[in-house]
Amino acid sequence: MKHILLALAVISSQLTFAQNTFRAIIKNERTQEALTGITANIPALNIGTATDTTGMIEIKNIPNGSFQIKFSYVGFKDFQKTFSFPLAHPNEIFTIDLEPSETELGEVVIQTTRSSRSIRDIPTRVEAITLDELNEKNSMKPGDIRMLLNESTGIATQQTSAVSGTANIRIQGLDGRYTQFLRDGMPLYQGFSGGLSVMQIAPLDLKQVEFIKGSASTLYGGGAIAGLV
DSSP 118-129: -GGG----EEEE
197: which residues sit within 8 A by CB, 6+ positions away?
161, 164, 165, 166, 167
Share of the chain above pLDDT 90, in %: 15
Please write the tens of the pLDDT for every residue from 194-223.
Answer: 566 645 566 566 778 888 888 877 777 777
Query: Would you give the DSSP letter of residue 44?
Result: T
Write the CA distances from 221 to 77, 178, 226, integer angstroms: 50, 10, 11
Least Cα distance to 75 among 48, 106, 54, 52 occurs for 106
3 state DSSP class of 158 = strand
> CA-to-CA distance for 57 and 73, rounded, in angstroms?
13
Q: Mean per-residue pLDDT for 83-110?
A: 83
The pLDDT confidence band at residue 4, using thresholds 50, 70 and 90, is very low
> CA-to-CA distance for 74 and 163, rounded, in angstroms?
58
> What's residue 22's pLDDT?
93
The pLDDT confidence band at residue 15, using thresholds 50, 70 and 90, is very low
Residues 79/70, Cβ–Cβ less than 8 Å: yes
> What's residue 213's pLDDT?
84
Q: What are phi and psi of 182, to 5 degrees?
A: -120, 145
| Range with top average pLDDT, 80-94, 127-141, 144-158 | 80-94
Residues 101/71, Cβ–Cβ less than 8 Å: no
Flag the least confident range among 20-34, 60-74, 81-95, 153-167: 153-167
> What's residue 40's pLDDT?
92
The pLDDT confidence band at residue 68, using thresholds 50, 70 and 90, is very high
> What's residue 58's pLDDT?
92
> CA-to-CA distance for 186 and 149, rounded, in angstroms?
19
Could you tell me which residue, 111 or 172, shows the higher pLDDT? Answer: 172
3 state DSSP class of 34 = strand
> What's residue 67's pLDDT?
92
| Range with top average pLDDT, 12-16, 94-98, 177-181, 187-191 | 94-98
Could you tell me which residue, 228 or 144, shows the higher pLDDT? Answer: 228
Q: For residue 181, is pLDDT > 70? A: yes
> What's residue 9's pLDDT?
47
